[in-house]
Structure 1
Amino acid sequence: MKLEKYLFGEILQSFRQYKNLTVEELAEGICTVDELISFEKERSYPTIDVLYKFSKKLDMELTYFFDIASKTTVHYPNAVIQLIEKFKRDRNYEAISNIIQQEEDSPLFTQKSLKQYLMWHQGICYHHLDGDSDKAFDTLSKAIALTNPKRVSLTEREIEILTSIGLIFYDTKNYRSAVTIFLEALNNIENLPHVLNMKGKLRILFGLSQAYTKLDMYEESLSYCYKGLNLCINEELLYLLNEFHYQIGHNYVQMGEVEKGKHYLDECLHLLTLEKKTKLLSIMESEIAKLLKS
């Protein structure tokens, strides 16, 4: 997300000078000096995560950048959500937790859906940062109950939170409970009249395929793998495409159909090569070598 022009450069420069920081000192660890100069002169504008880093270094609230500039078209809670989503993709749960602590008592987040969003990610942080799955389950369940106490006819957001519960069951090796939750999530999402973000359904299908594989239920896993694979193709999505190929290959190898499995494993590596995901490619090559050796 880019920030629109709203006297941002003047605000940033004035705060930098107020804190007695040189351009080099503020830019260090965040951006290049040339980029900071460009921001201050309003030749270009930072992304929300870069702005967040500026606010931390300047020891000021991120909201101030938005509050002080009445001409801004950026909605602050949406900016915070996009920042959390960015950190979630990076698996930076500590940064997410810090944001939640700053915003949970903010009057801007009293709206039920926004409060639910923070609770959802707080639950995720309890699991990944504290290793407290019980507290995570409790927080995530309360997040769903905030808008749907009876947990029926779930919305897309509520299904995403339910999927997070399933993922934590999977992480803690409670695979049967994970399957139960994923099936509940799948049933709900398939009953929706329209799905805005098909990635949510793909996450559920992949979660089911992984959990069934762990339970040595390879045929069941394959059925959800193929559903996910077909969904990727029909929706023209790369999201989880290589993962479904790997899971299919893994299942066939475990079932003794090694050559069939190798075909899908090779496709997984091919996709990673095309996407130039070199780090993940190296990891998967090692995993596939161990799988075939066993």
Structure 2
Amino acid sequence: MESFRIGHTIKDLRRFYKISQQELAEGICTQAMISRIETDDLYPSAPLLYQIAEKLGVDINYFFNISETPRLDYAQEVCEQIRALVRKTKYREALEMIDLEKQNPLFRKGQFYQFLVWQEAICNFYHTRDELRCFTLLDEALSLKATAKNHLSEDEIEILTSKANIYCELEQYEKAIAIYKEGLTLLKMIPYIRSTKLEVRILYNMSRAYHLNNQYARSIETATKGISICLREESMYLLGELYYQKGESLFYQQNVDQALVCMDYSLWIFERMKNEGFYQYVKKEREEISKAM
């Protein structure tokens, strides 16, 4: 593969994740070396390329796949559009887009193809309730992984936790919890994590699964871990939801006072974030808890 392709791809990914050259170089090489690689003056050795890949949260094969996917911006834009449709529960439109892009040579292999299969699985479940098709596609997406047998990338752990989310929807909480635990274990094996969002998301979903499975103490413990990470990282991501989930489980343990405290934290966060939908939902739940006093 031509060296400019590697340098260009590294630069694209670094900018995409808003990582400076100095941050990327830390612990593996000098900032000057990263600069030379990105400007085509230096071809990285295999060990160095491996370390750069880890820092950027991709498998080393990504750099070789990308040589066949020169239109990186286009592929990333398609992925974002599909994600947006799924977030808005426009599953039929997402499936149409996935079917179209599967014919596109840019998406016929590598991580982008894996992404399409993953999103197709989610859409199949929520749009057609085809459980068998959903799990078959999720297993296919996981089989496409480029990492070592006992390791998964962050994206692949997200695919795994999607499987847990589906089990939760099907009220198979023990299966869901087991997969969430596996996801957290695998996440700890990744040398460089892009952000704590995935860990927080798994903890929130696992706390919810524990609650639905009537394991309230475990739900509280798990939500507390997620809250601690958010506070440590000064992040509001899922913090309101975590406080709500903790409060709900505290209420089911007859700890009404502490439940109300958590609900108040949740309301404060959703108000600051101008999330009117969640704010009104939690407000209504808090009123119901207050009546129990």
| Pair 1:189–1:74, CA change in 2 (3 A) | closer
For the 8 Å contact 2:165–2:176, the answer to whether it is kept is yes
- The question of 1:212 aligning with 2:196 is answered no
**2:133 aligned partner, one-letter code:** K
Q: Which residue of structure 1 aligns with residue 233 of structure 2?
A: 235
Alpha carbons 1:218, 1:251 under 8 Å: kept: yes
Structure 1 gap ranges (5+): 1-72
- Which residue matches 1:244? 242
Residue 220 of structure 2: aligned partner:
222
Residue type of the alignment partner of 2:195 = N
Q: Offset of 1:183 from its aligned partner?
A: 0.7
Counting aligned pairs with the same residue, the percent is 28
Unaligned 5+ residue runs, structure 2?
A: 1-70
Per the alignment, residue 117 of structure 1 pairs with: 115
Q: 2:128 corresponds to which residue?
A: 130
Find 2:197's aligned residue among 164, 179, 199. Answer: 199
Q: 1:108 — aligned with what?
A: 106
Distance 1:195 1:150 in 2: 17
Q: Tell whether 2:285 aligns with 1:276.
A: no
Instruction: Tell me which residue corresponds to 1:55.
Output: none
Pairwise CA RMSD of aligned residues?
Answer: 2.0
Counterpart code for 1:101: D
Measured against aligned partners, the alpha-carbon deviations of 1:79-117 in whole angstroms (never above 9, x if no partner) come to 101212222332322221121011112111123211100
In the aligned structure 2, how far is the partner of 1:148 from the partner of 1:134? 25
Letter of the 2:90 counterpart: N
SS in 2 for 1:75: helix
Residues of 2 paired with 1:197 and 1:248: CA distance? 23
Is the 1:253–1:292 Cα contact (8 Å) retained in structure 2? no
Q: CA deviation at 1:291?
A: 4.9
Deviation at 1:148, TM superposition (A): 5.4
Q: Could you say if the C-alpha distance between residues 232 and 99 of structure 1 is closer, same or farther in structure 2, counting changes exceeding 3 Å?
A: same
CA contact (8 A) 2:248 2:259 kept: yes
CA distance, structure 1, for counterparts of residue 288 and residue 132 of structure 2: 33
Residue 156 (structure 1) aligns with: 154
Preserved contact between residue 145 and residue 152 of structure 2 (Cα < 8 Å): no
| SS, match of residue 237 in structure 1 | coil
Larger radius of gyration: 1
| Cα drift, residue 74 of structure 1 | 6.9
Who is 1:29 aligned against? none
Conserved 8 A contact 2:121-2:133: yes
Deviations 1:140-198 (A, max 9, x none): 01100112598521111110000100000111111011001111111101111111132
Superposed displacement of residue 292, structure 1: 5.1
Counterpart pick for 1:142 among 136, 140, 143: 140
TM-score (norm 2): 0.71
What is the one-letter code of the residue matched to 1:261?
A
Paired with 1:136 and 1:129, the residues of 2 have a C-alpha distance of 11
1:120–1:143: 8 Å Cα contact kept in structure 2?
yes
Secondary structure at the residue paired with 1:101? helix
Paired position in structure 2 for 1:183: 181
Report the residue type matching 1:283 in the other structure. Y
Which secondary structure does the structure 1 equivalent of 2:144 belong to? helix
Q: Is the 8 A contact 1:167 1:178 kept in 2?
A: yes
State the 1:260 CA deviation.
0.8
